[in-house]
Copies of this chain bind each other. A is one copy, B any other.
Amino acid sequence: MPLTPEQLAEIEAARQTPRQTLRAVSEGMEAHLYRAHPVLDHGFIRVIDYMGDDAAIVQAARVSYGAGTKHVQNDEGLIRYLMRHWHSTPFEMCEVKLHVKLPVFVARQWIRHRTANVNEYSARYSVLDREFYIPAPEQLAAQSVVNNQGRGEVLSGEEAARVLDLLKSDANRAYDHYEAMLSQDGQQGLARELARMNLPANIYTQWYWKVDLHNLFHFLRLRADPHAQYEIRVYAEAIAACVKDWVPLAYAAFEDYRMGGVTLSGKAIAVVKRMLTGETVTQETSGMSKGEWREFEGVWG
């Protein structure tokens, strides 16, 4: 269970005291504030704060004096134009702050996105909780035979059971020994900054993560993508659901131009032109490598 009853009570208490503000307010996002959206077996994402809304994007693009604009349709057209032409700075004018609980090996991928602010729970300062990510059976996949960095078929029964057993028992034993090393009962007790090295990469950590909307879209494009590892993709999807409620116009443009979009190379465009004249093009006559051709076919399949 990702949160204790005390934590849930604290969260609901925080939602009981609305205050007045003159700032831009996104009703869609207010509904998410503080609440934990569960991800994986013990993780979550929570929206802690946000700045701006769809109108704020338009307002920044126009460097306007007023607090917002009135015509949603014009806003939508401008937002789509900005997204289509890679005008990133107006999207940078919105910001969101999240509280995320996630396994360490996911955190290690996540942190590679450097254009964000992070405060992580410190295992030098505090003791970590006994919580580990154990994949659900349908996620226990074999190594892919076609993709060197992907996963293939789900493991069959006995092997799956063996893997789950190893993951669970190793995690628990590592945590038992972590506690034993830290203990000051009848011994000095190892420093926390050293003891933590015994813990495996599926232990949960947590952080506050703050990012602007442009860089968040970049994160979502890479991490909500079908090629991303499942364990980070589910976090990206949970965040995306909140973003959709926060800035619906910007999110719709993002979906059309980025998530649903495709970049074609000069070679690929030349091939499409030939195909549009009725010519049948094969990998051999395309000028593309086998890998490129496979991906190119995937666009239309």
Chain A residues within 8 Å of B, Cβ to Cβ? 3, 7, 10-11, 13-15, 17-25, 30, 33-34, 48-52, 56, 59-61, 63, 65-68, 77, 80-81, 84, 86, 89-90, 92-93, 95, 97, 99, 103-105, 108, 111-112, 114-115, 117-122, 124-125, 133, 135, 139-144, 148-153, 155-156, 159, 163, 166-167, 170-171, 173-174, 177, 180-182, 184, 187-194, 196-202, 206-208, 210, 212, 222, 229, 255-257, 259-269, 272-273, 275-276, 289, 291-292, 295, 299-300
Tell me which residues across on chain B come within 8 A of A173, comparing CB atoms.
170, 173
Name the distance in Å between A65's Cβ and chain B's nearest Cβ.
4
Given B151, B174, B212, which contacts A117 in the complex, CB threshold below 8 Å?
Answer: B212
Q: A22, A122, A188: which has the most chain B beta carbons within 10 Å?
A: A22
Q: Are B199 and A200 touching (Cβ within 8 A)?
A: yes
Q: Do A89 and B66 form a contact, CB below 8 Å, given A174-B170, A229-B193?
A: no
- Interface residues of chain A: helix, strand, loop or mixed (majority): mixed
A-B contact pairs, 22 of them (CB 8 A): A11-B65, A17-B22, A18-B21, A20-B30, A23-B50, A63-B119, A89-B112, A93-B117, A141-B190, A141-B194, A142-B191, A143-B191, A149-B193, A150-B191, A151-B191, A156-B188, A166-B180, A170-B173, A174-B174, A198-B202, A257-B263, A276-B300
Q: Are A261 and B261 touching (Cβ within 8 A)?
A: no
Q: Do A66 and B14 form a contact, CB below 8 Å, given A159-B188, A191-B141?
A: yes
